[in-house]
Amino acid sequence: MLQSNRRERAAKIRRARFLVVLVAAAVWWLPTGAAAAGTHHPVVPRGWKTYRFDGLHISAPGNWFVQDQSDSCPVTRPGILELGFAGPSRFCPWYGITNIVSIIPTSEPHPTAQPTMRLNGLSVSVMPSGSGTVKWLVGGLQINGYGPQAPSVMHTIRA
């Protein structure tokens, strides 16, 4: 009988330990604070810089050229982040740029724009676009992306 009590006690201790580990793991994995409220902020990779435009933040690799309506030309950069307009080609030729993300204000909402996803707490409408191009509407902004790194940059958009 004494041995049976010891076995039962050992089993209870093992169950209690298991429950403590299970609860600790659940608490560790559950989102807290802003993330729990649906305003998750993306992890910005090391070496990327964050920019603010019209109330939103977006991050891009530190070696990207950032154009904000100036006449300067990107020379041999892996990407361009255009804030406020689209098209560096208005000012200068393309020099091997393979990634472009532009954020431009829109005057009117697109007639077929319906929120199609939530991203970092924002409603995003994914719009039809040409081959290799991604087009989103976020509030009163149109976000266009082209190139293999463009989606990674676009997914950092947040309030």
Q: What is the pLDDT of residues 102-129, one digit of tens each?
A: 898 887 666 666 668 899 999 898 887 7
Q: Quick check: is 35 in a domain?
A: no
Same domain, 111 and 138: yes
Q: Which tokens belong to 20?
A: 């403590």
Mean pLDDT of all residues belonging to the chain: 75
One domain for residues 6 and 81: no
Residue 12 three-state SS? helix
pLDDT at 20: 44
Q: Are 64 and 120 in a shared domain? A: yes
**Does some domain include residue 37?**
no
Which domain covers residue 150, as residue numbers? 48-154
- In this prediction the pTM is 0.66
42 part of a folded domain: no
Residues 3 and 67 in one domain: no
Separation between Cα atoms, residue 107 and residue 117, nearest integer Å: 22
Percentage of the residues of the chain whose pLDDT score is greater than 90 = 23
Q: Which amino acid is at 108?
A: E
Are 91 and 144 within one domain? Answer: yes
**Per-residue pLDDT, 155:** 94
Domain tally, the chain: 2
More confident position, 49 or 10? 49
Q: What per-residue confidence (pLDDT) applies to 111?
A: 60
Q: What is the pLDDT of residue 59?
A: 96
52 plus 129 within the same structural domain: yes
Helix, strand or coil, per DSSP, at residue 139: coil
**Domain membership flag for residue 59:** yes
Q: Tell whether 62 and 102 lie within a shared domain.
A: yes
pLDDT digits (tens, 9 = 90+) for 70-106: 656 666 678 888 888 765 544 555 555 678 898 988 8
- State the pLDDT at residue 22: 40
